[in-house]
A and B are shown apart, each in its own frame.
Chain A
Amino acid sequence: MKMTPKYIRAQENMKPGKITADGFLGNDDRNIVDIIAADEEEFEYLGLDFVEVAKLMRKLVKEGLKGLGEPIRYDKWEIRVDEARGFLPCPFQDGIFRKRVTTVKNLNNGEEIIYSELSIHLLAAHHFLQGKGARFRLEPALIKSVLYE
C-alpha cells in the first residue's frame, strides 16, 4: 500500500490538536500505512476478523448504554459507556461520530480495552488501530484476550 493522497491527508488530521488534543498517532514514528499493514498481519496471525471484532464491540456498546454512565455486567464483561457533547470527524473525512467512550473489562482475566465510536469505525473501515502510545490504541493481542477469552 502506498501513502496515497488519502492517507497523507488522514495522517495530517491525526496529528495532535487537529481533531483531538493528543492525536491518533501516539509516539509512533511509522506512517499510518505501515501501522495498518503491521496490524493487519497481527490480526491474521491471531485469527481475528476486523468486521467481526467491530460487530462485537458495537454490541457491547449497546449493552453498556443501558447503564447510563454506570458500569453494567453483561456476559463475561463489565462495560461502562461515557459520553461527552459534540462530534468527532474521522481523519479520513468519511463520517462524524459521537464522543462516546466505552471501557470493556473481561471479568475472567481482568484485562480491559477502551474505545470510542470513532475507534470502531477506524478499525472496521480502515483497519487502523492507532499509533503505539496513543490513548485509544487497540493492541490486537489485547483485543483478543478481552473479547475472546
Chain B
Amino acid sequence: MEIILAPIVVSVISSVLALIIVVVDGVVNNYGEVEIDINDSKRNLKVKGGTPLLQTLSSQGIFVPSACGGRGSCGACKVKVLSDVGPYLPTELPYMSKEELKENIRLACQIKLKKDIKIYLPEELFNIRKFKGIVESLKDVTYDIKELRIRLVEPNEANFKAGQYVQLVIPPYENIKESTQRAYSISSSPSDKNHIELLIRLVPGGIATTYVHKYMKEGDVVEVVGPFGDFYMRDTNADMIMVAGGSGMAPIKSIIFDMWERGITNRNVWYFFGARSKRDLYYLEIFQELEKKWPNFHFIPALSDPLPEDDWTGEIGLITNVLDKYLQNIIPAENPKEGYLCGSPGMINACVQVFDKHGVKDVYYDKFA
C-alpha cells in the first residue's frame, strides 16, 4: 500500500500545483481586448492585446515605418503615445532625443499592448499598404548592385511620389530565423503603377542584401510595404542640383524620369553621379539619351580613381570637388538652387558643406540612413 501511496501523493500535489499555474497563466497572459484610439477617435481599433503596437497595427493594415522589421535596431517606428504605457524600456532610450522624451514618443515595436491606448499617427501613414508581388527580373547592373524589378499583384497598383522608399520584406533563410525588413528607395517612376524597381547593393554580412544577391530568384513571391519618406522634388522653379552615387541613384533616377514624363522640363537639373572607377558606373546610356532630349538636364558622371584601361574622358575627382567646381564656374550663381542628396552620411555632410559654401540653403536628403 505504501508503495502506491508515495507516488500518488506526490502526483496529486504536483497536479494541483500545475493546475494552479495554468490558471494563473491564463489570467496573467490574457490581456483581453484592447482598444487603440488613433488621432482622437478618427480611427478606433479593437484588437487582441499582448503583442507590440507595431505588429498589431500592421495586422490591421496600418504600417508604421520600420527599417528592421520590429527588432528594435533602427528607431524608425517612433509613435506619439497619448496615454500611459509604462516607463521607457532600455531598448527605446538610445533612439530618443530629449524633445522626444518630453513628447512621449515611443518605439512602436517595443511597447506591448496591455491596456487601451491612445496614439497619434501622421495622416500620410494611412496611405501605406503591404503589397504582394512577383520578382519579374533580378539583373546585375554592376559587380555589386542588382536591379530588382517587382510586378505588383495584390494590390496591383501603387501610388507613390518619386523619391520615396519601400520596405522590402526578407523571409527567414539559412541561419536567419525571423523575417526582417529593410528600406530601399524606389528607382522606377510613379507612372509605372504596376511595378516597383529597387537598386540593391551587396553589403558584406548584410541580412537583406545577402538574401537578394544570393537567394532571391526571378519568379519568387515577394512583399513590400510602403511608400514612405519625404524625399521628393519640391515644387519650385529653383535649379535642382542632385548628387548620388552607387545605389543612391535610385530616388534620383525616379525623380528625374518622373519630371521628364510629366513635362516638368523648364527647371535646370544637374545630376552628379560619383563613382570610383568605370566598373561602378551604370545606366550611363539612359541618362545620356535623356540629356540629348532635355536641354535643361545635365548628367555629370565623375570618377575619383579611374583605371588606365577605363579610358575615361569624363570628369575626374572626388564628387564633392567636381560639385564645387561646377558651382563655382559653370552653374549660374544667380539662379536659386535646391540640393538633392542620396548617399552615406559622410558624403551628405561633405556635400552640404560644399552647398553651404555656395549659398545653397535648401538641401534635401534621404534621411532614412
Direct A–B touching, Cβ under 8 Å: yes
- Evaluate contact between A87 and B74: CB separation under 8 angstroms: yes
- Evaluate contact between A20 and B95: CB separation under 8 angstroms: no
A51, CB-defined interface residue at 8 Å: no
Which of these binds chain B: A28-36, A37-45, A95-103, A141-149?
A95-103
How many residues on B have C-beta within 8 angstroms of the other chain's C-beta atoms? 39
Identify the closest chain B residue to A70 (Cβ): B304
Q: Select the residue from B71, B204, B320, B347 with max chain A CB neighbours within 10 A.
A: B204
In the bound complex, residues from chain B placing their C-beta under 8 Å from that of A85 are 183, 344, 368-369
B159, CB-defined interface residue at 8 Å: no
- Evaluate contact between B346 and A83: CB separation under 8 angstroms: yes
Which of these binds chain A: B174-182, B290-298, B307-315?
B174-182
B67, CB-defined interface residue at 8 Å: yes
B205, CB-defined interface residue at 8 Å: yes
B86, CB-defined interface residue at 8 Å: no
A17, CB-defined interface residue at 8 Å: yes
In the bound complex, residues from chain A placing their C-beta under 8 Å from that of B183 are 85-86
B94, CB-defined interface residue at 8 Å: yes
CA distance A83 to B201 in the complex (A): 11
| Cβ distance A96 to chain B, nearest Cβ, rounded Å | 5
B26, CB-defined interface residue at 8 Å: no
Residues 12-46 of chain B, each 1 if its beta carbon lies under 8 Å from chain A, else 0: 00000000000000000000000000000000000
Q: Which residues of A in the span 55-87 have a Cβ within 8 Å of any Cβ on B?
A: 65, 67-70, 81, 83-87
In the bound complex, residues from chain A placing their C-beta under 8 Å from that of B204 are 135
- Evaluate contact between A17 and B178: CB separation under 8 angstroms: yes
- Evaluate contact between B305 and A84: CB separation under 8 angstroms: no
In the bound complex, residues from chain A placing their C-beta under 8 Å from that of B75 are 87, 96
A26, CB-defined interface residue at 8 Å: no
Q: Which single member of A67, A70, A86, A94 contacts B74 (CB below 8 Å)?
A: A86
| Cβ distance A5 to chain B, nearest Cβ, rounded Å | 13
CA distance A143 to B205 in the complex (A): 22
B318, CB-defined interface residue at 8 Å: yes
Given A86-B67, A87-B74, A96-B95, the answer on whether A68 and B350 have CB atoms closer than 8 Å is yes
Q: Which single member of A19, A20, A93, A98 contacts B345 (CB below 8 Å)?
A: A98
- Evaluate contact between B369 and A70: CB separation under 8 angstroms: no
In the bound complex, residues from chain A placing their C-beta under 8 Å from that of B318 are 67-68, 70
In the bound complex, residues from chain A placing their C-beta under 8 Å from that of B205 are 20-22, 135
| Cβ distance A128 to chain B, nearest Cβ, rounded Å | 17
- Evaluate contact between B346 and A95: CB separation under 8 angstroms: no
B210, CB-defined interface residue at 8 Å: yes
Q: Select the residue from B94, B178, B183 with max chain A CB neighbours within 10 A.
A: B94
CA distance A99 to B305 in the complex (A): 24
Given A85-B368, A86-B67, A86-B369, the answer on whether A65 and B346 have CB atoms closer than 8 Å is yes
Q: Which single member of A69, A84, A87, A89 contacts B347 (CB below 8 Å)?
A: A69
Q: Which single member of B67, B74, B207, B344 contacts A69 (CB below 8 Å)?
A: B344
| Cβ distance B245 to chain A, nearest Cβ, rounded Å | 8
10 shortest interchain CB distances as A-B pairs: A83-B344, A17-B176, A89-B73, A16-B175, A17-B175, A84-B203, A21-B207, A65-B346, A85-B369, A95-B94
